[in-house]
Amino acid sequence: MEPGKPNLVVFAETLQALAQSDKEILVVTSDSRGSGKLEPFAKALPEQLVEVGIAEQNLVGISAGLAASGKKVFGVSPACFLTARGLEQIKNDVAYSDNLVKLVGISAGVSYGALGTTHHSLHDFAALQAINNIDIVVPADNFETQKVIETAVSHPKPLYIRFGKKAMPHLHQPDTPFEIGKAITLSEGADVTFIAIGETVAEAVEASQLLAQQRIAAGVISMHTLKPLDKEAVLKAALFTKALITVEEHSVYGGLGSTVASLLMDAQVYLPFKAVGFPDEYTVTGSQTEIFSHYGISPDGLAETAQQLLTGVLTA
Amino acid sequence: MSEKNVQELERKSIQYRKKILSIIKAANSGHTGGSLSAVDILNVLYNEVLNVSPDTFQDLNRDRYIQSKGHSVEVLYVVLADRGFYDEADLDTLNQYQSHFIGHPTRKVNGVEQNTGALGHGLPIAVGTALAAKKDGRSYRVFTLLGDGELEEGSNWEASMSAAHYQLDNLTVIIDYNKLQISGPVETVTGITNLKEKFTAFGYAVREVDGNSIEDLLEVFSHLPFESGKPNLILAHTTKGKGVSFIENQVNWHHHVPTDAEFSIAMEELDAAKLALGERNGTW
Ligand SMILES: [Mg+2]
């Protein structure tokens, strides 16, 4: 995999390019222009940046008012604060009131690593999935980030976009079709399929390469849209492959894993299944990579999970 | 505004109060005290101040009214019906199964700008709406009505800082200062005091009025903006339950529904008040 930039940087560059030619685009920040890599945006387009101070409820409410008045609003704040401090505003002022704000949760998941639980967002999928009328997109690489930001401008529903800040490898060709709600199949594997989201997709791709060395055919789906979930892609994978593994930078409660599991059960599709994510415990201390590895979200960890899941399945 | 027109508006307030009590009685639920408290404010806003009508409701240049104290929805529904946003008969469905006329403002009801009800939400949205006008060079104005108990929500103070920072003199915040909230006097719940000083310190141009006086309200709104470059704040001293003797200033009437006996006494009192205005009984 070719090394790329942090999705955060691609987000800021893409948005600035769009905003240069579309004056209706506004960015609203809560003292987060630095952490959002938006200093160049602020310098180039000062009239299109609204600063509300360290006040995430205010950020979401003001964004809703701007959107209701015809502005194309990107509300940008660390995911941990945006989706917890501002949750009631997201629920009422954005989703329920159908104000088409694009909420951007930066430095998401455990991107802040050793800064600890106050700065982690491992709850946001669960919290937002249960709210009617807001879509959730989590880009895996620079390509998906650029595409989702471009698509977001005219997306007909409130939207939550979430990504981290470390450099991500390129996963897609530039001509890959991208559509919110349509998963991208990176590879097909007859034995096991990883359905991964966000920054865990790259880990799953590497795991599939390790598994190939052991003659285990593993496929990878980038499920960049959590809601609306691409049910067809899940069910197709479940028919094509012998086992499914979901991978996410989120609690195992209420995220991709439980949503996929519930879809499979509802469709009466039964196969070996494992949801890899964060267990319900005090999160271990360390860098994002160390924390990932601790919870098995690593090439080795995911390959091992696949092997365990397939024990007795491949020989049967 | 001639004396006759003031009297006409005063008569309208009485009609609104009767209608509010009627729909709350029929629905067997509602926020009686707070709706009666805000009647005169909404009366003056919708009949004399706001540049909005059913025909112009989609117009980008319309004035916006966002009711942050969403629980007092009955007064909003009654006034919007009177202004022709929908049939008065629709009010009979208040809180009924599958009705859009639910217990807090929703955009499914024509004329309602934003879905509110959770407290502390209207002002940030109003700030965003007023800021958009400034960005676009539009002349519309934004008004929002807050309860006094509602000021305990911190989001109001976050939004106030932004309103002053962005010099939103096209924004008018009205506090329905009736001194009561659901568990008792606001002063005893949180000791909220010196509101004028607080809002002035937050950068508003503040005016205090009798929020149940049509004349005072007409006067204060005629001076907008109070100061160029500052958001406007009207501290409207009101009486919770205004207009019916046994409802006024009674904590338990926050969402009490009148009994048959209470309802008929209330109607008698309001009819008597109307007669006292020197006008014949009219239909509203
Ligand atoms: Mg009150």
Render B81-107 in DSSP notation, one character per residue.
Answer: HHTTSS-GGGGGGTT-TT-S--SS--T
Among the CATH numbers 3.20.20.70, 3.30.830.10, 2.40.110.10, 3.40.50.970, which is that of A3-169?
Answer: 3.40.50.970
State yes or no: cis peptide before A299, omega within 30 of 0.
no
**pLDDT digits over B108-134, tens only?**
999 999 999 999 999 999 999 999 999
pLDDT of residue B192: 81
DSSP A117: G
A88 contacts chain B (CB < 8 A): yes
Determine whether the interchain pair B158/A64 forms a contact, defined as Cβ–Cβ distance below 8 Å.
no
- Neighbour-count burial of B102, counting CB atoms closer than 10 A to its CB (0-12 exposed, 13-18 middle, 19+ buried): middle
Check if the beta carbon of residue A97 is closer than 8 Å to that of residue B118. no
The answer, yes or no, to whether residue B280 has pLDDT greater than 50, is no
Tens of pLDDT along A179-195?
999 999 999 999 999 99
Show Cβ contacts of residue A223 under 8 Å, excluding neighbours closer than 6 positions: A183, A195, A196, A197, A229, A230, A233, A234, A256
Position with higher pLDDT, B279 vs A175: A175
pLDDT given at position A316 = 47
- Give me ligand 1 centre to Cα B67, in Å: 14
- Report ipTM (2 d.p.): 0.95
Whole-number average pLDDT of chain B:
95
Q: Which two tokens stand for residue A6?
A: 């942090």
The answer to whether residues A255 and A108 touch, using CB atoms and an 8 Å cutoff, is no
Task: Provide CATH code, domain A184-311.
Answer: 3.40.50.920
If pLDDT is split at 50, 70 and 90, which confidence band does B2 have? Answer: confident
Question: Separation of B92 CA from ligand 1 center, angstroms?
Answer: 26
| Nearest beta carbon to residue A62 from set B116, B118, B131 | B131
Helices within A27-98 (DSSP H only): 39-44, 56-68, 79-82, 87-89
The chain-wide mean pLDDT, for chain A, equals 97
A75 touching chain B per CB within 8 A: no
B18 is written with which tokens? 């009767």
Q: State residue A106's pLDDT score.
A: 98
Domain boundaries, chain A: 3-169, 184-311
At residue A1, the pLDDT reads: 86
Give the pLDDT confidence score for residue B284 in this predicted structure. Answer: 43
CA distance A225 to chain B (A): 27
Instruction: Kindly report, residue by residue over A77-92, the tens digit of the pLDDT.
Output: 999 999 999 999 999 9
Q: Do domains A3-169 and A184-311 have the same CATH topology?
A: yes
Q: What is the pLDDT of residues B205-240, one digit of tens each?
A: 999 999 999 999 999 999 999 999 999 999 999 999
pLDDT at B109: 98
pLDDT above 90 for B191: no
Q: Give A-chain residues touching B162 at CB under 8 angstroms.
A: 52-53, 55, 58, 62
What is the nearest CA distance from A150 to chain B, expressed in angstroms? 22
In the three-class reduction of DSSP (H, G, I as helix; E, B as strand; rest coil), residue A49 is classed as: strand
Q: What is the pLDDT of residue B281?
A: 42
Domains annotated on chain B, with CATH: 3-281 (3.40.50.970)
Q: With bands split at pLDDT 50, 70 and 90, how would you rate the model's confidence at A312?
A: confident
Nearest to A157 by CA among A137, A130, A183: A137
Residue range A117-146: mean pLDDT, rounded = 98
Would the pLDDT of B36 be above 90? yes
The rounded distance, in Å, linking the Cα atoms of A159 and A136 is: 6
Nearest CA in chain B to A97: B115
Instruction: Please give the sequence-ordered ranges of beta strands (E in DSSP) within B117-266, or none if there are none.
Output: 142-147, 171-177, 180-181, 184-185, 205-210, 232-237
State how far the Cα of B201 lies from the Cα of B157, in Å rounded to an integer.
Answer: 11
Type of residue found at B44: V
**pLDDT of amino acid A313:** 73
In percent, the amount of chain B with pLDDT more than 90 equals 93
